[in-house]
Structure 1
């Protein structure tokens, strides 16, 4: 049973619920969309191209264009968050991030990683669309966030070029820290918080970042926040000061200094050129 459905334009959010021992009406595909199947309640199953598999903790699935699948439930029932992203949209996001040097677009079907970022975006969008408080620009922003989360968490042809996605997933403690950062990068983050999330010392955490990511934790967080600020500058009418704090910077002066260092111009100059 479909609980919720929202079409954002280049993506779609759905929540479906299965009673015990029920399934999708039929085997189906999604045209040119990639569909993310994220379990919320219970232990659902999925069949992709005649191969059956059970969802487990921290495991979610990507169905690619051209593939067929259906979901079903066991004796306890289940609930799933489904996120559709258009291939053309993902190709554009990848090309923008890699400055036109995008490779083919393909993902490994199974991902073992945090789903909290996806759940937070879906919950926020669903909540605020009920009172029509979200503007078009904000919905577009959420679509970019969903795409960024997908490229950051899922392995595929893009992984090496995208950044540290492949490297940090190879080390469990670093993966935990990365998941925490990507879920809450706009909040105040410090080494004590990250080391607790990773379950290792601050010094070992810094070493892992340098070895696997090539940056310190603070440098990585700053880059992530700058990318978010760039997205907001491109897609929203927000004031530069508001964008700085929305992206997680504690002060406008810090944001302006780091933005100019990375992009060679001020945020206001960057926006004029968009």
Structure 2
């Protein structure tokens, strides 16, 4: 929160939820009811995507170094962006429920270089206001859903979303758009084996997309795509399924307590383990153990 504009915490606004404490990497999100405000926002190291969920805000803004003033009404399903590294001046009226997604500029720079073969030092995002972007909308809603469900999907899932947000920003909202190169690298069989072994050995750890990608010798973005091709599901889905399978083994073969099994399989608490286990298996861990 300290590296963002902190808009959701301003006294006139009502914070509904935020991602503090969820251990997300490279991405921070807040969801709040924003009332009227006038302020100058400092330049920060995060790109910001604002998505309007309910009601509307009338916005007038100007970015330093640009003599133009932008004015528009941000309505539901519309988006706006605040590029990193640029100060801006705002006047907002009305009342709206707004999701703010802050993506660290290093994430965007890495995707620009590794995926789109762009010079990250020359990447410049356009300051969008009250536009519609169907893909960014779905990604924003995925972030909101992940906040609502707390750690149900996990940090690995959110890292994948951050990668896709960066790609879409660069594709559709960069000052100089470029398309990805045609030859997409594929994961080798030894790489597949190393990643699978790493996951099995670290089911109790908070594995990140970068860690898994490095084991395969790939960029995080291409790793996520190649992983799905080889394993038939996204990395976070595979990891969650393997954690549940390990939990089932421990329930069948040991008398270990549910709390210890939850921690041994990478869940933050027994309640989180129980809810996820029931979603996958159809019964609670206790019911599963008693049926064995």
**Structure 1 residues 167-204: Cα deviation after superposition (integer angstroms, max 9, x where no partner):** xxxxxxxxxxxxxxxxxxxxxxxxxxxxxxxxxxxxxx
**Residue 16 of structure 1 corresponds to which residue in structure 2?**
32
1:153 equivalent in alignment to 2:144: no
Q: 1: CA distance between counterparts of 2:27 and 2:174?
A: 20
Q: Which has the larger radius of gyration?
A: 2
How many pairs align?
A: 175
Q: 1: CA distance between counterparts of 2:221 and 2:80?
A: 26
Q: 2: CA distance between counterparts of 1:15 and 1:243?
A: 26
Q: 2: CA distance between counterparts of 1:152 and 1:100?
A: 11
Cα contact 2:108–2:166 (8 A) shared by 1: yes
Question: 37, 49, 65: which is aligned to 1:36?
Answer: 49
Q: CA RMSD in A?
A: 3.6
Question: 119, 128, 149: which is aligned to 2:149?
Answer: 128
Q: Give SS of 1:108's match.
A: coil
**TM-score, with structure 2 as normaliser:** 0.49
Aligned-residue offset at 1:162: 4.3
Check 1:82–1:48 CA distance in 2 against 1; reply closer, same or farther (3 A cut): farther
1:88 equivalent in alignment to 2:81: no
Trace 1:1-274 onto structure 2 (pairs within 5 A).
Answer: 1=13, 2-7=15-20, 8-19=24-35, 22-23=36-37, 26-44=39-57, 45-49=59-63, 51-56=69-74, 59-69=78-88, 73-74=92-93, 76-99=94-117, 102=120, 104-110=122-128, 112-114=131-133, 115-129=136-150, 132-157=151-176, 159-162=177-180, 230-231=223-224, 233=226, 240-243=231-234
Aligned-residue offset at 1:46: 4.4
Aligned-residue offset at 1:77: 1.5
Check 1:56–1:11 CA distance in 2 against 1; reply closer, same or farther (3 A cut): same
Cα contact 2:83–2:126 (8 A) shared by 1: no
Q: Which runs of 5+ in 1 are unaligned?
A: 164-226, 247-274
